[in-house]
Amino acid sequence: MRKILSYIFVSTLLFSCKENDDKVFPVEPFIEFKSLIFKKGLPSQPDSLNLEFYYRDGDADFGLPSSFVAPYNLRNYFFKSSGSKYTGSLSAVNASELIRYKDKRLKVLDTLPKFTAPFDCNNWELYRSNGRVTDTVYFQTNPNSYNLFVDIYTKDSNNWAPFDFSSVSSFPNCSQGIHARVPNLENFSPQSGVPFKIVKISSKEGVITYRVVSYSLSFLFAGKKIKLKARIQDRALHKSNEIESSEIQL
């Protein structure tokens, strides 16, 4: 009898998933806020901020590859000779081929950003050769490197303002905030250290919990009210709506 009930349950589940796979949704992703929970870490463990949201994507192309290939590369560098973009690994090209801080210092390219905060973190990167810093190159962040965009807002009096992570970091130990790369959902499997819990309803929809883990959450936001705003983007670069979380007191 137990085997029969198990068979019926599995068959029903598979049929339900197949039904959901057949649903027609727009190709633009859609998300819906479900919960925001802060967990204070123990003395030897970090704090965590858990954002849970529902997602759906009509053409089921949400989730990025593990490698940083264009157009999902992390940063855009630029060849000095032509000004064209270089989207590959920085270690695979000679620094002298790229636009460098030396070009600004020698007034070859006067329009480059200053090497002062926040530009030092937003536009300049150390170049290493054989583990040794040998140069400083210019870059522009590629926003398509992420597919989950999350901003923390803090409340000051009655006004909400986005928290600027560059204000609490300094070159070369720069913080780029808490945007993230949700992996390809077609072959997703939970692994230790991955900050996502994903429950798939079908190939097109499911529930994601994004776990922001840091020892500094309590320090940065102690005594403050915070909330999150988030949106997602699929591999075709279609953008979703933006959600706003409930507010919580730290």
Q: What is the pLDDT of residues 30-78, one digit of tens each?
A: 999 999 999 988 888 899 999 999 999 999 999 999 899 999 999 999 9
Q: Span 19-67+143-249: which CATH code?
A: 2.60.40
| pTM for this predicted structure | 0.86
Q: Residues of CATH 2.60.40 domain(s) within the chain?
A: 19-67+143-249
pLDDT of residue 97: 97
Q: In a structure prediction context, what are the per-residue pLDDT tens digits for the chain, which is 250 residues long? A: 544 444 444 444 444 455 567 789 999 999 999 999 999 888 888 999 999 999 999 999 999 998 999 999 999 999 999 999 999 999 999 999 999 999 999 988 989 999 988 888 889 999 999 989 999 999 999 999 999 999 999 998 889 999 988 888 888 888 879 999 999 988 777 765 679 999 999 999 999 999 999 988 988 999 999 999 999 999 999 999 999 999 999 8
**What are the C-alpha distances in Å from 23 to residues 53, 234, 237?**
20, 18, 22
